[in-house]
Structure 1
Amino acid sequence: MNLLIMGLPGAGKGTQAAKIVENFQVAHISTGDMFRAAMANQTEMGQLAKSYIDKGELVPDQVTNGIVKERLAQADIREAGFLLDGYPRTIEQAHALDETLKELGLSLDGVINIQVDPACLLERLSGRIIHKETGETFHKVFNPPAGDYNEADYYQREDDKPETVKRRLDVNIAQGQPIIEHYRAQGLVHDIEGNQDIKDVFAAIQTVLTNLK
Protein backbone atom coordinates (compact mmCIF):
# COMPACT_ATOMS: atom_id res chain seq x y z
CA MET A 1 0.00 0.00 0.00
CA ASN A 2 1.51 3.32 -1.10
CA LEU A 3 0.27 6.34 0.82
CA LEU A 4 0.72 10.03 1.37
CA ILE A 5 -0.27 11.84 4.58
CA MET A 6 -1.09 15.54 4.68
CA GLY A 7 -2.20 17.99 7.34
CA LEU A 8 -1.39 21.45 8.69
CA PRO A 9 1.15 21.92 11.51
CA GLY A 10 -0.45 20.83 14.79
CA ALA A 11 -3.07 18.63 13.11
CA GLY A 12 -1.49 15.48 14.56
CA LYS A 13 0.03 14.23 11.32
CA GLY A 14 3.18 12.88 12.99
CA THR A 15 1.22 10.94 15.61
CA GLN A 16 -1.06 9.36 13.02
CA ALA A 17 1.84 8.60 10.65
CA ALA A 18 3.54 6.58 13.42
CA LYS A 19 0.31 4.64 14.05
CA ILE A 20 -0.16 3.88 10.34
CA VAL A 21 3.42 2.60 10.04
CA GLU A 22 3.04 0.44 13.15
CA ASN A 23 -0.32 -1.04 12.19
CA PHE A 24 0.08 -1.43 8.43
CA GLN A 25 3.82 -2.21 8.31
CA VAL A 26 4.65 0.25 5.53
CA ALA A 27 7.98 2.08 5.20
CA HIS A 28 7.81 5.54 6.79
CA ILE A 29 9.45 8.04 4.46
CA SER A 30 9.82 11.44 6.08
CA THR A 31 11.79 14.21 4.43
CA GLY A 32 14.14 14.71 7.38
CA ASP A 33 14.96 11.00 7.70
CA MET A 34 15.52 10.74 3.95
CA PHE A 35 17.98 13.62 3.89
CA ARG A 36 19.91 12.30 6.89
CA ALA A 37 20.12 8.77 5.42
CA ALA A 38 21.14 10.01 1.96
CA MET A 39 23.89 12.17 3.46
CA ALA A 40 25.08 9.42 5.85
CA ASN A 41 25.22 6.91 2.98
CA GLN A 42 26.92 9.51 0.77
CA THR A 43 24.59 8.87 -2.14
CA GLU A 44 24.96 11.15 -5.15
CA MET A 45 21.91 13.20 -4.16
CA GLY A 46 22.86 13.10 -0.47
CA GLN A 47 26.24 14.67 -1.18
CA LEU A 48 24.60 17.27 -3.39
CA ALA A 49 22.11 18.12 -0.61
CA LYS A 50 24.94 18.38 1.91
CA SER A 51 26.75 20.89 -0.28
CA TYR A 52 23.73 23.23 -0.04
CA ILE A 53 23.05 22.59 3.66
CA ASP A 54 26.71 23.22 4.58
CA LYS A 55 26.45 26.65 2.91
CA GLY A 56 23.23 27.38 4.79
CA GLU A 57 21.22 27.39 1.56
CA LEU A 58 17.84 25.82 0.81
CA VAL A 59 18.06 22.48 -0.98
CA PRO A 60 16.58 22.94 -4.48
CA ASP A 61 13.51 20.93 -5.53
CA GLN A 62 15.58 19.03 -8.08
CA VAL A 63 17.79 17.59 -5.30
CA THR A 64 14.88 16.88 -2.95
CA ASN A 65 13.03 15.09 -5.75
CA GLY A 66 16.18 13.10 -6.50
CA ILE A 67 16.53 11.97 -2.87
CA VAL A 68 12.87 10.87 -2.84
CA LYS A 69 13.45 8.92 -6.06
CA GLU A 70 16.54 7.21 -4.60
CA ARG A 71 14.53 6.16 -1.54
CA LEU A 72 11.48 4.94 -3.49
CA ALA A 73 13.74 2.82 -5.70
CA GLN A 74 14.92 0.73 -2.72
CA ALA A 75 13.83 -2.89 -2.39
CA ASP A 76 11.81 -2.56 0.83
CA ILE A 77 9.34 -0.24 -0.91
CA ARG A 78 8.20 -2.92 -3.36
CA GLU A 79 7.79 -5.40 -0.52
CA ALA A 80 6.07 -3.24 2.10
CA GLY A 81 4.80 -0.11 0.39
CA PHE A 82 5.37 3.37 1.81
CA LEU A 83 3.92 6.31 3.71
CA LEU A 84 5.29 9.64 2.45
CA ASP A 85 5.30 12.27 5.19
CA GLY A 86 6.39 15.88 4.58
CA TYR A 87 6.66 15.52 0.80
CA PRO A 88 5.47 16.85 -1.59
CA ARG A 89 5.43 20.36 -0.08
CA THR A 90 4.69 22.21 -3.33
CA ILE A 91 2.61 21.50 -6.43
CA GLU A 92 5.87 21.31 -8.43
CA GLN A 93 7.08 18.53 -6.12
CA ALA A 94 3.72 16.75 -6.54
CA HIS A 95 4.16 16.75 -10.32
CA ALA A 96 7.73 15.48 -9.88
CA LEU A 97 6.44 12.69 -7.63
CA ASP A 98 3.92 11.68 -10.31
CA GLU A 99 6.82 11.30 -12.76
CA THR A 100 9.00 9.43 -10.25
CA LEU A 101 6.26 6.92 -9.44
CA LYS A 102 5.58 6.39 -13.15
CA GLU A 103 9.28 5.78 -13.87
CA LEU A 104 9.54 3.30 -10.97
CA GLY A 105 6.33 1.48 -11.92
CA LEU A 106 4.64 2.51 -8.65
CA SER A 107 1.36 4.30 -7.93
CA LEU A 108 -0.32 6.01 -5.00
CA ASP A 109 -3.21 4.15 -3.37
CA GLY A 110 -4.46 6.99 -1.22
CA VAL A 111 -3.83 10.40 0.35
CA ILE A 112 -4.81 10.77 4.00
CA ASN A 113 -5.72 14.42 4.62
CA ILE A 114 -6.12 15.28 8.32
CA GLN A 115 -8.40 18.31 8.53
CA VAL A 116 -8.49 20.67 11.51
CA ASP A 117 -9.93 24.20 11.53
CA PRO A 118 -6.95 26.64 11.30
CA ALA A 119 -8.46 28.72 14.15
CA CYS A 120 -8.26 25.64 16.42
CA LEU A 121 -4.68 25.03 15.31
CA LEU A 122 -3.77 28.64 16.06
CA GLU A 123 -5.03 28.18 19.63
CA ARG A 124 -3.33 24.79 19.92
CA LEU A 125 0.05 25.95 18.58
CA SER A 126 0.28 29.44 20.08
CA GLY A 127 -0.70 28.50 23.65
CA ARG A 128 2.64 27.06 24.71
CA ILE A 129 4.37 28.90 27.56
CA ILE A 130 7.65 28.12 29.34
CA HIS A 131 8.51 28.83 32.97
CA LYS A 132 11.51 31.18 33.08
CA GLU A 133 13.20 29.52 36.06
CA THR A 134 12.47 25.81 35.65
CA GLY A 135 12.10 25.56 31.86
CA GLU A 136 8.88 23.56 32.36
CA THR A 137 6.48 23.70 29.42
CA PHE A 138 2.75 24.38 29.81
CA HIS A 139 -0.17 25.29 27.56
CA LYS A 140 -2.48 28.18 28.39
CA VAL A 141 -5.60 26.18 27.50
CA PHE A 142 -4.78 22.47 27.53
CA ASN A 143 -2.18 22.25 30.29
CA PRO A 144 -2.09 25.48 32.33
CA PRO A 145 0.13 25.90 35.39
CA ALA A 146 -1.64 25.17 38.71
CA GLY A 147 -3.60 27.90 40.44
CA ASP A 148 -3.53 31.59 39.54
CA TYR A 149 -0.16 31.76 37.87
CA ASN A 150 1.76 34.96 37.21
CA GLU A 151 2.19 35.46 33.45
CA ALA A 152 5.37 37.48 34.10
CA ASP A 153 7.06 34.24 35.24
CA TYR A 154 6.56 32.66 31.80
CA TYR A 155 7.72 33.38 28.27
CA GLN A 156 6.90 32.26 24.73
CA ARG A 157 9.39 31.21 22.08
CA GLU A 158 9.21 33.30 18.91
CA ASP A 159 7.97 30.20 17.04
CA ASP A 160 5.01 29.91 19.42
CA LYS A 161 3.79 33.51 19.22
CA PRO A 162 0.33 33.86 17.58
CA GLU A 163 1.52 36.10 14.73
CA THR A 164 4.36 33.68 13.86
CA VAL A 165 2.07 30.65 14.06
CA LYS A 166 -0.55 32.35 11.87
CA ARG A 167 2.06 33.15 9.20
CA ARG A 168 3.24 29.52 9.24
CA LEU A 169 -0.32 28.23 8.90
CA ASP A 170 -1.09 30.68 6.07
CA VAL A 171 2.00 29.54 4.13
CA ASN A 172 1.10 25.87 4.65
CA ILE A 173 -2.51 26.43 3.54
CA ALA A 174 -1.38 28.30 0.40
CA GLN A 175 1.15 25.59 -0.49
CA GLY A 176 -1.01 22.62 0.47
CA GLN A 177 -4.28 23.54 -1.24
CA PRO A 178 -3.11 23.00 -4.84
CA ILE A 179 -1.56 19.65 -3.83
CA ILE A 180 -4.81 18.44 -2.24
CA GLU A 181 -6.76 19.56 -5.32
CA HIS A 182 -4.25 17.77 -7.57
CA TYR A 183 -4.79 14.45 -5.76
CA ARG A 184 -8.52 15.04 -5.28
CA ALA A 185 -8.86 15.25 -9.05
CA GLN A 186 -7.35 11.74 -9.17
CA GLY A 187 -9.87 10.45 -6.62
CA LEU A 188 -7.12 9.68 -4.08
CA VAL A 189 -7.96 12.01 -1.16
CA HIS A 190 -9.59 10.74 2.03
CA ASP A 191 -10.49 13.59 4.42
CA ILE A 192 -10.19 12.73 8.10
CA GLU A 193 -11.69 14.90 10.87
CA GLY A 194 -8.64 15.70 13.00
CA ASN A 195 -10.32 17.69 15.76
CA GLN A 196 -11.27 14.65 17.84
CA ASP A 197 -9.57 12.20 20.17
CA ILE A 198 -6.34 10.68 18.76
CA LYS A 199 -7.84 7.19 18.95
CA ASP A 200 -10.92 8.28 17.00
CA VAL A 201 -8.78 9.93 14.33
CA PHE A 202 -6.83 6.72 13.87
CA ALA A 203 -10.00 4.61 13.85
CA ALA A 204 -11.25 6.70 10.90
CA ILE A 205 -7.90 6.29 9.11
CA GLN A 206 -7.93 2.55 9.81
CA THR A 207 -11.37 2.20 8.21
CA VAL A 208 -10.16 4.00 5.06
CA LEU A 209 -6.95 1.97 4.77
CA THR A 210 -8.63 -1.36 5.46
CA ASN A 211 -11.00 -0.64 2.56
CA LEU A 212 -8.03 0.24 0.32
CA LYS A 213 -6.20 -3.05 0.94
Structure 2
Amino acid sequence: MNLFIMGAPGSGKGTFSSRLKDQYQIDHISTGDIFRKNIKENTALGQEAKTYMDKGLLVPDELVNKMVLDTLRNLPADSKGYLLDGYPRTLEQAKAFDEMTKGTPQEVETVLYLDVPNEVLNKRILGRRTCPNCGEIYNIYFKPTKVENVCDHCQTELTYRADDNEESLAVRLGEYDRATRPVIEHYQDQNKVVLVDANRDFEAIWTDISANLNS
Protein backbone atom coordinates (compact mmCIF):
# COMPACT_ATOMS: atom_id res chain seq x y z
CA MET A 1 0.00 0.00 0.00
CA ASN A 2 1.69 3.18 -1.21
CA LEU A 3 0.04 6.41 -0.09
CA PHE A 4 0.43 10.18 -0.20
CA ILE A 5 -1.43 12.11 2.50
CA MET A 6 -2.22 15.70 1.58
CA GLY A 7 -4.10 18.62 3.05
CA ALA A 8 -3.65 22.21 4.18
CA PRO A 9 -1.95 23.15 7.47
CA GLY A 10 -4.28 22.12 10.30
CA SER A 11 -6.12 19.46 8.30
CA GLY A 12 -4.93 16.61 10.54
CA LYS A 13 -2.22 14.99 8.43
CA GLY A 14 -0.01 14.23 11.43
CA THR A 15 -2.82 12.71 13.46
CA PHE A 16 -4.04 10.41 10.71
CA SER A 17 -0.53 9.52 9.52
CA SER A 18 0.16 8.04 12.94
CA ARG A 19 -3.05 6.00 12.86
CA LEU A 20 -2.41 4.80 9.29
CA LYS A 21 1.12 3.71 10.17
CA ASP A 22 -0.10 1.65 13.12
CA GLN A 23 -3.17 0.21 11.40
CA TYR A 24 -1.57 -0.85 8.12
CA GLN A 25 2.04 -1.36 9.28
CA ILE A 26 3.44 0.88 6.56
CA ASP A 27 6.49 3.14 6.74
CA HIS A 28 5.60 6.78 7.53
CA ILE A 29 8.06 9.11 5.81
CA SER A 30 8.22 12.91 5.80
CA THR A 31 10.52 15.04 3.70
CA GLY A 32 11.87 16.57 6.92
CA ASP A 33 12.85 13.11 8.16
CA ILE A 34 14.53 12.36 4.83
CA PHE A 35 16.58 15.57 4.94
CA ARG A 36 17.64 15.03 8.56
CA LYS A 37 18.63 11.38 7.95
CA ASN A 38 20.71 12.15 4.87
CA ILE A 39 22.45 15.09 6.53
CA LYS A 40 23.11 13.14 9.75
CA GLU A 41 24.55 10.19 7.79
CA ASN A 42 26.53 12.59 5.57
CA THR A 43 25.34 10.96 2.36
CA ALA A 44 26.20 12.51 -0.99
CA LEU A 45 22.58 13.67 -1.34
CA GLY A 46 22.63 15.03 2.21
CA GLN A 47 25.81 17.00 1.58
CA GLU A 48 24.31 18.53 -1.55
CA ALA A 49 21.05 19.43 0.22
CA LYS A 50 22.97 21.00 3.11
CA THR A 51 24.74 23.44 0.78
CA TYR A 52 21.35 24.94 -0.10
CA MET A 53 19.91 24.80 3.42
CA ASP A 54 22.98 26.49 4.93
CA LYS A 55 22.37 29.42 2.57
CA GLY A 56 18.70 29.59 3.51
CA LEU A 57 17.69 28.41 0.04
CA LEU A 58 15.02 25.86 -0.88
CA VAL A 59 16.39 22.47 -1.88
CA PRO A 60 15.74 22.11 -5.66
CA ASP A 61 12.96 19.76 -6.77
CA GLU A 62 15.37 17.51 -8.63
CA LEU A 63 17.38 16.87 -5.47
CA VAL A 64 14.27 16.40 -3.29
CA ASN A 65 12.94 13.85 -5.79
CA LYS A 66 16.22 11.90 -5.72
CA MET A 67 16.25 11.82 -1.92
CA VAL A 68 12.64 10.63 -1.72
CA LEU A 69 13.15 7.92 -4.32
CA ASP A 70 16.40 6.76 -2.70
CA THR A 71 14.56 6.44 0.64
CA LEU A 72 11.71 4.43 -0.86
CA ARG A 73 14.07 2.09 -2.70
CA ASN A 74 15.91 1.39 0.55
CA LEU A 75 12.90 0.51 2.72
CA PRO A 76 13.19 -2.84 4.53
CA ALA A 77 12.59 -5.91 2.37
CA ASP A 78 9.51 -6.80 4.44
CA SER A 79 7.99 -3.30 4.12
CA LYS A 80 4.25 -3.31 3.45
CA GLY A 81 4.37 0.05 1.70
CA TYR A 82 4.85 3.72 2.47
CA LEU A 83 2.94 6.79 3.59
CA LEU A 84 4.55 9.99 2.30
CA ASP A 85 3.72 13.17 4.22
CA GLY A 86 4.75 16.58 2.88
CA TYR A 87 5.53 15.37 -0.62
CA PRO A 88 4.97 16.13 -3.43
CA ARG A 89 4.55 19.84 -2.70
CA THR A 90 4.47 20.99 -6.32
CA LEU A 91 3.11 19.77 -9.63
CA GLU A 92 6.66 19.51 -10.94
CA GLN A 93 7.62 17.18 -8.09
CA ALA A 94 4.53 15.04 -8.70
CA LYS A 95 5.20 14.67 -12.42
CA ALA A 96 8.85 13.83 -11.83
CA PHE A 97 7.96 11.27 -9.16
CA ASP A 98 5.43 9.62 -11.48
CA GLU A 99 8.02 9.40 -14.23
CA MET A 100 10.66 7.90 -11.92
CA THR A 101 8.36 5.30 -10.35
CA LYS A 102 6.00 4.30 -13.18
CA GLY A 103 5.74 0.51 -13.32
CA THR A 104 7.93 0.04 -10.20
CA PRO A 105 7.07 -1.07 -6.63
CA GLN A 106 7.45 2.58 -5.55
CA GLU A 107 4.56 3.90 -7.69
CA VAL A 108 1.92 5.69 -5.61
CA GLU A 109 -1.48 3.95 -5.47
CA THR A 110 -3.70 6.31 -3.48
CA VAL A 111 -3.65 10.00 -2.54
CA LEU A 112 -5.59 10.81 0.63
CA TYR A 113 -6.76 14.41 0.52
CA LEU A 114 -8.01 15.80 3.84
CA ASP A 115 -10.40 18.60 2.90
CA VAL A 116 -11.22 21.26 5.51
CA PRO A 117 -12.81 24.72 4.92
CA ASN A 118 -10.41 27.63 5.44
CA GLU A 119 -12.53 29.15 8.22
CA VAL A 120 -12.19 25.91 10.21
CA LEU A 121 -8.45 25.72 9.52
CA ASN A 122 -8.12 29.24 10.92
CA LYS A 123 -9.81 28.23 14.18
CA ARG A 124 -7.83 24.99 14.46
CA ILE A 125 -4.49 26.74 14.07
CA LEU A 126 -5.08 30.15 15.64
CA GLY A 127 -6.89 28.56 18.60
CA ARG A 128 -4.18 25.97 19.29
CA ARG A 129 -2.54 26.06 22.73
CA THR A 130 0.05 23.66 24.19
CA CYS A 131 1.21 22.85 27.70
CA PRO A 132 5.02 23.18 27.77
CA ASN A 133 5.18 20.89 30.80
CA CYS A 134 3.08 17.80 29.95
CA GLY A 135 2.56 18.35 26.23
CA GLU A 136 -1.26 18.35 26.31
CA ILE A 137 -2.80 20.21 23.36
CA TYR A 138 -5.91 22.40 23.66
CA ASN A 139 -7.92 24.68 21.41
CA ILE A 140 -9.77 27.75 22.61
CA TYR A 141 -12.60 27.02 20.16
CA PHE A 142 -12.87 23.22 20.17
CA LYS A 143 -11.13 22.03 23.35
CA PRO A 144 -10.85 24.87 25.87
CA THR A 145 -9.30 24.52 29.32
CA LYS A 146 -11.40 24.74 32.48
CA VAL A 147 -9.36 27.77 33.59
CA GLU A 148 -8.42 30.13 30.77
CA ASN A 149 -4.90 29.46 29.42
CA VAL A 150 -4.03 27.00 32.23
CA CYS A 151 -3.47 23.26 31.66
CA ASP A 152 -6.20 21.08 33.18
CA HIS A 153 -3.69 18.39 34.18
CA CYS A 154 -0.67 20.19 35.64
CA GLN A 155 -1.87 23.80 35.99
CA THR A 156 0.97 25.12 33.82
CA GLU A 157 0.42 28.26 31.73
CA LEU A 158 -0.16 27.35 28.08
CA THR A 159 1.91 28.55 25.13
CA TYR A 160 1.36 28.90 21.39
CA ARG A 161 3.64 28.84 18.36
CA ALA A 162 4.94 32.23 17.23
CA ASP A 163 3.89 31.50 13.64
CA ASP A 164 0.32 30.62 14.66
CA ASN A 165 -0.96 34.09 13.79
CA GLU A 166 -3.32 35.44 11.13
CA GLU A 167 -0.62 36.96 8.93
CA SER A 168 1.57 33.84 8.90
CA LEU A 169 -1.41 31.54 8.39
CA ALA A 170 -2.65 33.58 5.42
CA VAL A 171 0.77 33.17 3.81
CA ARG A 172 0.86 29.41 4.50
CA LEU A 173 -2.64 28.81 3.13
CA GLY A 174 -1.92 31.01 0.13
CA GLU A 175 1.23 29.02 -0.64
CA TYR A 176 -0.71 25.79 -0.23
CA ASP A 177 -3.38 26.92 -2.68
CA ARG A 178 -0.79 28.06 -5.19
CA ALA A 179 1.53 25.06 -5.12
CA THR A 180 -0.32 22.02 -3.80
CA ARG A 181 -3.85 22.16 -5.18
CA PRO A 182 -2.56 21.53 -8.73
CA VAL A 183 -1.01 18.31 -7.35
CA ILE A 184 -4.45 17.16 -6.16
CA GLU A 185 -5.93 17.90 -9.57
CA HIS A 186 -3.06 16.00 -11.23
CA TYR A 187 -3.86 12.84 -9.26
CA GLN A 188 -7.61 13.30 -9.65
CA ASP A 189 -7.01 13.00 -13.39
CA GLN A 190 -5.44 9.59 -12.63
CA ASN A 191 -8.38 8.54 -10.40
CA LYS A 192 -6.04 8.11 -7.44
CA VAL A 193 -7.50 10.72 -5.07
CA VAL A 194 -9.67 9.75 -2.10
CA LEU A 195 -11.41 12.96 -0.99
CA VAL A 196 -12.00 12.92 2.77
CA ASP A 197 -14.27 15.39 4.55
CA ALA A 198 -11.94 16.14 7.47
CA ASN A 199 -14.28 18.67 9.09
CA ARG A 200 -15.79 15.99 11.36
CA ASP A 201 -14.89 14.15 14.54
CA PHE A 202 -11.89 11.82 14.45
CA GLU A 203 -13.75 8.50 14.35
CA ALA A 204 -16.04 9.58 11.51
CA ILE A 205 -13.04 10.65 9.44
CA TRP A 206 -11.14 7.46 10.27
CA THR A 207 -14.11 5.28 9.32
CA ASP A 208 -14.23 7.03 5.94
CA ILE A 209 -10.48 6.63 5.36
CA SER A 210 -10.30 2.97 6.34
CA ALA A 211 -13.42 2.05 4.33
CA ASN A 212 -11.87 3.58 1.20
CA LEU A 213 -8.50 1.89 1.73
CA ASN A 214 -9.97 -1.47 2.58
CA SER A 215 -12.06 -1.44 -0.59
* Same topology, TM > 0.5: yes
Q: Which stretches in structure 2 are left out of the alignment for 5+ residues?
A: 150-156
What RMSD, in angstroms, separates the aligned Cα atoms of the two structures? Answer: 2.6
- Structure 1 length-normalised TM: 0.85
- Structure 2 length-normalised TM: 0.84
Q: 1:42 and 1:157 mapped to 2: Cα distance?
A: 31
Superimposed CA distance per residue, residues 55-103 of structure 1 (whole angstroms, 9 cap, x where no aligned partner): 3322111211111111111142774211111000010110111122127
**Which residue is equivalent to 1:201?**
205
**Which residue is equivalent to 2:80?**
80
Q: 1:37 and 1:187 mapped to 2: Cα distance?
A: 33
Superimposed CA distance per residue, residues 108-134 of structure 1 (whole angstroms, 9 cap, x where no aligned partner): 211111111111101211124689xxx
Question: CA, structure 1 residues 179+37, in 2 after alignment: closer, same or farther (shift >3 Å)?
Answer: same
1:66 counterpart = 2:66: yes
- Bigger drift between 196-205 and 179-188 goes to 196-205
Question: CA, structure 1 residues 158+143, in 2 after alignment: closer, same or farther (shift >3 Å)?
Answer: same
**Which residue is equivalent to 1:27?**
27
Q: Which stretches in structure 1 are left out of the alignment for 5+ residues?
A: none
Q: Is the 8 A contact 1:27 1:76 kept in 2?
A: no
Deviation at 1:138, TM superposition (A): 5.5
Deviation at 1:154, TM superposition (A): 9.2
Deviation at 1:146, TM superposition (A): 4.4
Q: Is the 8 A contact 2:73 2:106 kept in 1?
A: no
Counterparts in 2 of 1:118-157, with a 5 A limit? 118-128=118-128, 139-144=139-144, 146=146
- Bigger drift between 100-109 and 140-149 goes to 140-149
Superimposed CA distance per residue, residues 119-166 of structure 1 (whole angstroms, 9 cap, x where no aligned partner): 1101211124689xxxx98633234454688xxx99865412223212
Deviation at 1:179, TM superposition (A): 0.3
1:167 counterpart = 2:171: yes
Q: 1:119 and 1:164 mapped to 2: Cα distance?
A: 15
**Which residue is equivalent to 1:56?**
56
Q: Is the 8 A contact 2:27 2:79 kept in 1?
A: no
More helix by percentage = 1
